[in-house]
Amino acid sequence: MAENTSSSTNLAVLIDGDNIPSSHIKEMMEEITKYGNPTIKRIYGDWTKPHLARWKNLLLENAITPIQQYGYTTGKNATDSAMIIDAMDILYSGKVEGFCLVSSDSDFTRLATRLREAGMLVIGIGEKKTPNPFIVACDRFIYVEILKNNSSKQEAEADKDDSKSSIDKITQKEIKLIKSTIEDVSDEDGWAFLGDVGNLLQKKQPNFDSRNYGFPKLTPLIKSIGMFELELRDNPRSKNKLIYVKVKEQPKSKNRQKTKSNS
C-alpha cells in the first residue's frame, strides 16, 4: 500500500510499557522505519515493577530510552500522563514531523487528535483489543498481531495456532469499502490507480491493512475477492509497472433480459 512518508520524516516513538507486549519490539521498530526515521525512542513505565523486567534486555538492543514513572495513586495510570506531557514537549520542540504512539489504551485518543491538529503524522501500534476511538484518531493504526516474526523454527511452532487466530476473514463490509473507494477515485472508464485506492482506504479506515487478512500487499487481497479487474500499465518514470483496478461489471439477470425482450 502506498505511503506519503519517507525516510526523511523524523518520528518520535513513544511506547506505553504498561500496555503493550515486549515480545515483538524488533518487528515493531522495523515497521516504524517504513514511515520515517525514529529519532526519538522512549518507553514509559514503573521500572521497579517485576512485570516490566522483560523489557530491560530489549531496550539497549533497540536504543530505546526508559523513562521512569512511579504510580503515585492506586488505580491511576501515571504512564499515560508522562507520555502525553513528553509528546507535547516534543511537538513544540519542532524536531519531528510525526509520532508513533505504541499502546492499546484509549486514553491516548485526545493526544493523537491534538498531534494531527498540529499537522503531525500519527501512527498507532497496538493489539486488536485497542478501542476504536484511538484507532480512528490516528493516520494509520497497525496491529501488533500481524508483526509477529516466525524466523526461528521453535518460534514458528509456538506461534502457529496464534498466527492463524490473528488473521481476520474479509467480510462484505470490507469488500464494500474497497468497492466504494475504487469508485471514488476512478476515471470515466471506472479504472483507478491502486496507489490512490490504498491511500484513500487508509484515510477512511486507519486500521485497514491487507496483512490483517493474511495478504502481504493490497494487490493479492483484491485478486482474492474476485470482484475486481487488475491491469498493469507502463510507468513513464520507472521500469516498474503501474497497477490499476476496476470493479467488474455484473452480468445482467435473466429476469431483466426477459423484461427488455418483452417490451
In a domain, 139, yes or no: yes
In this predicted structure, which of 2-11, 71-80, 165-174 has the lowest mean pLDDT? Answer: 71-80
Residues 124 and 239 reside in one and the same domain: no
Q: Is 94 part of any domain?
A: yes
Span of 26-30, 31-35, 122-126, 162-166 with lowest mean pLDDT: 162-166
Specify if 63 maps to a domain.
yes
Query: 241 pLDDT exceeds 60?
Result: yes
Same-domain status, 148 and 216: no
For CA atoms 207, 216, 176, 200, give the dihedral sign.
positive
Domain count within the chain: 2
Tell whether the torsion through CA atoms of 201, 179, 1 and 127 is positive or negative.
Answer: positive
pLDDT at 1: 44
pLDDT value at 228 more than 90: yes
Residue 38, φ and ψ in degrees, nearest 5: -75, 90
- Residue 42: strand, helix, or coil: strand
Model pLDDT, residue 217:
92
What is the per-residue pLDDT across 185-203, written as a single tens digit (0 to 9) for each? 999 999 999 999 999 999 9
Same domain, 151 and 33: yes
What cell was used for 218?
A: 493490497
Task: Give Cα 2 to chain centroid, integer Å.
Answer: 12
Same domain, 138 and 215: no
Position 253 in a domain: no
Q: What digits encode the pLDDT tens for the residues 96-118?
A: 999 999 999 899 999 999 999 99
- 108 lies in a domain? yes
- Is 257 part of a structural domain of the chain? no
Q: Are residues 36 and 125 in the same domain?
A: yes
Last residue of a domain, one of 134, 165, 196: 165
Q: What is the pLDDT of residues 55-103, one digit of tens each?
A: 888 888 889 999 987 765 544 456 688 899 999 999 999 999 999 999 9
In this model, does residue 168 exceed pLDDT 50? yes
| Mean pLDDT computed over every residue of the chain | 84
67 and 128 co-located in one domain: yes
Burial environment of residue 216 by CB neighbours within 10 A (0 to 12, 13 to 18, 19 or more) = exposed
**pLDDT at residue 2, rounded to an integer:** 41
Provide long-range contacts, Cβ within 8 A and 24+ apart, for 156-161. Answer: none
> Quick one: pLDDT at residue 5?
53
Q: Residue 91: give its domain's CATH number.
A: 3.40.50.1010
* Rounded-to-10 torsion of CA 47, 50, 54, 55: -10
- Tell me the pLDDT tens digit for each residue of 122-156: 999 999 999 999 999 999 999 998 987 443 333 44
Contact 239, 188 (CB under 8 A): no
- pTM, two decimals, is 0.80
In this structure, are 180 and 55 located in the same domain?
no
Residues 70 and 139 placed together within one structural domain of the fold: yes
In this structure, the answer to whether residues 62 and 178 fall within a common structural domain is no
Note the pLDDT of residue 125.
Answer: 96
CATH number at residue 211: 3.30.420.610
The CA distance from 38 to 10, in Å, is 6
Do residues 33 and 131 both lie within one domain? yes
Bridge partners, 140 (sequence order) = 123
How sure is the predictor about 239, in pLDDT bands with cuts at 50, 70 and 90? confident
Domain of residue 121, residue span: 10-165
Q: Are residues 158 and 194 in the same domain?
A: no
